[in-house]
Structure 1
Amino acid sequence: MPKFADVFLPPELDPRTEPPVTGDEKSLLVGFLRWQRETLELKCSGLDAAALCARSVEFSGLSLLGLVRHLADVEHQWFRERMAGEDTPRRFSGADDPDGAFDHVAPDPDLVAEAWQAWRSEVEYAEQFVMKAESLDVVGGDPWRGEVSLRFVLVHMIEEYARHNGHADLLRQGIDGAVGQ
């Protein structure tokens, strides 16, 4: 059974930025979302294209690369489409291919580079959107819920990353035994 001592990085080498423990609501939400995003990067660090494409189990499409691609699309969906009202296609999935982010992975370094570039671009866009927002009460349109606030989107994104980082924990342990973080 893995123990804290078995984490793949000693705590002093952990590159993630700890979220603040005090401060205003926006700083706390942004800090926790940043930490979750950095956790995804950490879980994928040091792996080659083949390892990033490794499936959790035969019948599942879940892979670390699929998670990176999926979360690029999720960032795009919530910040570009719903909050900013842009009508731009997602990069890896769509109405005609809802599981495209997971289904179309291959152990190709160019596909890995494309996924990381897309994810980083969408994260940068989201960070700029949040920074420029006059308040957490700024609203966007969601087809299922109607109007949603930026506050809702930030909490949802923290939840989205936390859930998928749990998947990433298991995937990484299955790839090379690395646990923790």
Structure 2
Amino acid sequence: MDILLIAGMWLDGRAWDAVVPALEAAGHTPIALSLPGQGAEPSPATLDDQVDTVVAAIDAADGPVLVVGHSAAATLAWLAADRRPGKVARVALVGGFPGDDGEPYFPVFPAVEGVVTFPGWEPFEGPDSADLDEATRRRIESLCVPVAEGVTGGVVRYESARRFDVPVTLVCPEFSAADARAWVAAGDVPELARARHVDEIDVDSGHWPMFSVPDALATALVEAAERPHLLDLPPWEPPITGTDAEHLGASLDRLRATFRWKADGLTIDQLRRRLPSSRLSLGGLLRHLAVVEDDIFAGRIAGERSDAPASMPEGADPEAWMFDLADDVTADDLYAVYDDAVRRARERYRSLVEDGGLDAPAAMRFGGLRPHARRHVHDMLEEYGRHTGHADLLREAIDGRVGEDPDPTWTWAVLTETRTTTG
């Protein structure tokens, strides 16, 4: 496995020199990162530039990665998991914890003339540095470089709740695993209090184990790299644990992805094909489910009329418009209408959960009663439950395709990429 190594404040990739050989001997590929904004001269680099550098390293890896963040860089590692939850197998945090959303990255020491420099050992006397002899202290000092104010003063911003599904290993040097568990349980580390998979490994050292006990740290990181992770699951799978809203949304996404794969890659003639006893076709179902996505999430829940391409023309017969496709309809038209309707619906669902949750009253009434939004989302699940089964039979009759998507990441990209359709 590729192991990305990010040292804490004032240290660059050279901090890992004594750890790298043991990781390589264990069969892993360590990549010690040096980041923009680290150097003797003031730099315009920002926290976002550092995050982008870590993300680029993740994207360059052939498979899942372990991202290791030491000290303040625990936040950088967690931001990387936030940006790439589908590629980060696990995060290992060495002597540090992720910062909170909206807070400055490293406000501990003030910047002077655009940089924050290593303040000497006085602030770190005690458990942090008790295991460092004078030679090791001098070695660390010789590697310390100033860090740009644009990095230390950057504001931490998370984007994806999927980061909470990424497993976390706390490597505990100057504090114990029991201490770390207690702090997380007490809510003192809000980000990890929401994480679903947190474990700990004790390392008997101070705050800089890559210098004082590099072999012990390497052993801990190898153990973290070889612990189970969840990346073998498709990205739309419901979380192993989670809220009602997370499970409901992911269950709906799983059905969407399955249906979309069953309909994928066909010509317009194949999309029109019906069984002798039915009016249904895969092309008709693409249009039908697009209409239902808009109807439920825009109309029934939000009380808005959709002007999107999935909407039927004024005066059209609904059944005929959806299931008797006109001669000028193309396969690209049908795929675009469906894919765009799904993206609109997913965004509306995300806003619904953030703004009031599934208990918010929906706009549409049933016989004078006003159901909660949850009821309408379950109706959408029921719709997919029926039509995904129809799609199974229709696709098998066309070309024999059965089973699950062999490349689920492709289907997920289709349903989540940004695209605007106008016609």
TM-score using structure 2 length: 0.36
Tell me the secondary structure at the aligned position of residue 23 of structure 1.
coil
1:130 aligned partner, one-letter code? Y
8 Å Cα contact 2:272/2:325 also seen in 1: no
Q: Deviations over 1:83-119 (max 9, x none)?
A: 111134652477640211111255x6x5322222222
Residue 399 of structure 2 is aligned to residue 179 of structure 1: no
Corresponding residue number in structure 2 for 1:139 = 361
Gaps of 5+ in 2: 1-231, 405-423
Deviation of 1:158 after TM superposition, in Å, equals 1.3
Percent of matched pairs sharing the same residue:
36
Question: Structure with the greater relative contact order (CA < 8 A, sep ≥ 6): 1 or 2?
Answer: 1
Alpha-carbon offset, residue 48 of structure 1: 1.8
Distance across 1 between alignment mates of 2:242 and 2:370:
27
Query: Is the CA contact (8 Å cut-off) linking 1:72 and 1:118 kept in structure 2?
Result: yes
Matched AA of 1:46: G
Q: Secondary structure at the match of 1:142?
A: coil
CA RMSD of aligned residues (A): 2.6
Figure out how many residues of one structure are paired with residues of the other and give that number: 167
**Residues of 1 paired with 2:235 and 2:330: CA distance?**
25
Residues 296 and 377, structure 2, Cα contact 8 Å, conserved in 1: no
Q: Which structure has the highest strand share of the two?
A: 2
Is the aligned partner of 1:81 residue 2:304? Answer: no
Offset of residue 123 of structure 1:
1.4
Structure 2 residue 264 is the aligned partner of structure 1 residue 45: yes
Which residue of structure 1 aligns with residue 323 of structure 2? 102
Aligned to 1:178, the other structure's residue is in SS state: coil
In the alignment, the residues of structure 1 paired with residue 283 and residue 312 of structure 2 have an alpha-carbon distance, to the nearest angstrom, of 11
Q: Is the 8 A contact 2:285 2:387 kept in 1?
A: yes
CA distance in 1, matches of 2:344, 2:324: 25
Moved over 3 A (4+): 13-16, 92-96, 143-146
Residue 168 of structure 1 corresponds to which residue in structure 2? 391
1:5-20 matches, cutoff 5 A: 17-20=236-239
Q: Which amino acid aligns with 1:114?
A: D
Larger Rg: 2
In structure 2, do the counterparts of structure 1 residues 115 and 144 end up closer, same or farther at CA, with 3 Å as the change threshold?
farther
Aligned match of 1:3: none
Question: What's the TM-score once normalised by structure 1's chain length?
Answer: 0.80
